[in-house]
Structure 1
Amino acid sequence: MDYTNAAFPGAPVRSSELDYLVTRLRQGWCCAVVGPSNTGKSFLLKSLLTEEVAHRCSRADFPAPIIVFIDCLEAGDSEHAFYELLLRRTIETLAYHDDTETILAALREFHREMLQAGPSEVAIRALYASSVRALALQLQAPIILVLDEFYDVFRQLPPWPFRQLRALYDSLQRQLCFVTATSHFLENLRADAQVYEFRELFQLHTLVLHPLSAEDAQKLVTYLAERHGETVSPENQQRLIGLSGGHPGLLERIYGVASLTQVDMMTPMEITAAELINLPPVQKECQRLWNELEAEQDSLLALLPGHPAALTAHQEALLSRKGLITRPAGQSPQIFSPLLAQFIETTYGHEIVDEIETGVRVDADTGQIFVGDEEITLKLSEPQRKLVQFLCERVGVVCSYDDIAVGVWGIGEGVSPGAIYELVKRVRQKVEPDWKKPRYIVTVPGKG
Structure 2
Amino acid sequence: MSSDRAKGHPLDFRRDEVRYVTDRWRAGDCCSLVGVGSVGKSNLLLHLGNYDVHKAYLQIANEHDFKAVIINPNMLGPLPPITPETEQFRCWAGYELIMHRLVMAFYPFQQFDRADAERFYALYNTLQDGSNPLYSYMGLRYLEQGLNILFRYNVRIVLMFDEFEDMLKHLPPKFFQTLRGLRDANKRQLSYLTFTRAPLAHLMDVYHLPHLEMEPFIELFTDSILYVGPYNDIDARRMLDNLMSRNNKHYPEATIRFLTWATGNYAGLLRSGFRLLDSFNITDMRDSQNEEWLRQLASRRSIRDECAMLWASLTDIERHTMKMVAQIIPYHPTADTEQAIAMLVQKRLLRVERPQNVLYIEPPVFRMFIATNADILK
Per the TM alignment, residue 164 of structure 1 is displaced from its structure 2 partner at its CA by 0.8
The CA deviation string for residues 392-426 of structure 1, in whole angstroms up to 9 with x for no partner, is xxxxxxxxxxxxxxxxxxxxxxxxxxxxxxxxxxx
TM-score scaled by length of structure 1: 0.70
1:341 maps to which residue?
Answer: 367
The CA deviation string for residues 187-228 of structure 1, in whole angstroms up to 9 with x for no partner, is 222242211111111111111111222222222222222222
Q: Structure 1 residues 113 and 325, CA, compared in 2 at 3 Å: closer, same or farther?
A: same
For the residues of structure 1 that align with 2:232 and 2:37, how far apart are their CA atoms? Answer: 17
Indicate the SS of the match to 1:197: helix
1:29 to 2:29 alignment? yes
State how 1:8-407 maps to structure 2 within 5 Å.
Answer: 8-10=7-9, 13-55=13-55, 56-57=57-58, 64-76=65-77, 77=79, 78-95=90-107, 98-102=110-114, 103-116=116-129, 117-120=131-134, 121-136=136-151, 138-191=152-205, 192-193=210-211, 194-259=213-278, 261-262=279-280, 272-295=293-316, 296-305=318-327, 307-309=329-331, 313-328=338-353, 330=355, 332-348=358-374
Instruction: Give 1 or 2 for the bigger CA radius of gyration.
Output: 1
For the residues of structure 2 that align with 1:228 and 1:62, how far apart are their CA atoms? Answer: 34
Segments of 5+ residues of structure 1 without an aligned counterpart are: 353-448
For the residues of structure 2 that align with 1:85 and 1:351, how far apart are their CA atoms? Answer: 37
In the alignment, residue 220 of structure 2 is paired with which amino acid? L
**Cα pair 2:252 2:282 within 8 Å, conserved:** no
In the alignment, residue 335 of structure 1 is paired with which amino acid? I
Q: Which has the higher helix share?
A: 2
Per the TM alignment, residue 91 of structure 1 is displaced from its structure 2 partner at its CA by 1.2
For the residues of structure 2 that align with 1:58 and 1:182, how far apart are their CA atoms? Answer: 28
For the residues of structure 2 that align with 1:52 and 1:265, how far apart are their CA atoms? Answer: 40
In the alignment, residue 95 of structure 2 is paired with which amino acid? Y
Indicate the SS of the match to 1:144: strand
Q: Which structure's relative contact order is higher, taking Cα pairs within 8 Å and 6+ residues apart?
A: 2
Aligned-pair Cα RMSD in Å:
2.9
Per the TM alignment, residue 49 of structure 1 is displaced from its structure 2 partner at its CA by 2.2
TM-score scaled by length of structure 2: 0.82
Per the TM alignment, residue 171 of structure 1 is displaced from its structure 2 partner at its CA by 0.8
For the residues of structure 1 that align with 2:332 and 2:5, how far apart are their CA atoms? Answer: 41
Per the TM alignment, residue 253 of structure 1 is displaced from its structure 2 partner at its CA by 1.1
Indicate the SS of the match to 2:192: strand
In the alignment, residue 169 of structure 1 is paired with which amino acid? R
Per the TM alignment, residue 285 of structure 1 is displaced from its structure 2 partner at its CA by 1.1
Q: Structure 1 residues 123 and 109, CA, compared in 2 at 3 Å: closer, same or farther?
A: same
**Cα pair 2:326 2:371 within 8 Å, conserved:** yes
**Cα pair 2:51 2:63 within 8 Å, conserved:** no
Identity across aligned pairs (percent)? Answer: 24
The CA deviation string for residues 240-280 of structure 1, in whole angstroms up to 9 with x for no partner, is 01111121111111111224x24799998886222223321
For the residues of structure 1 that align with 2:49 and 2:375, how far apart are their CA atoms? Answer: 43
In the alignment, residue 308 of structure 1 is paired with which amino acid? P
**Cα pair 2:91 2:172 within 8 Å, conserved:** yes
Q: Structure 1 residues 97 and 208, CA, compared in 2 at 3 Å: closer, same or farther?
A: farther
Question: Number of paired residues?
Answer: 346
Segments of 5+ residues of structure 2 without an aligned counterpart are: 80-89
For the residues of structure 2 that align with 1:189 and 1:6, how far apart are their CA atoms? Answer: 34
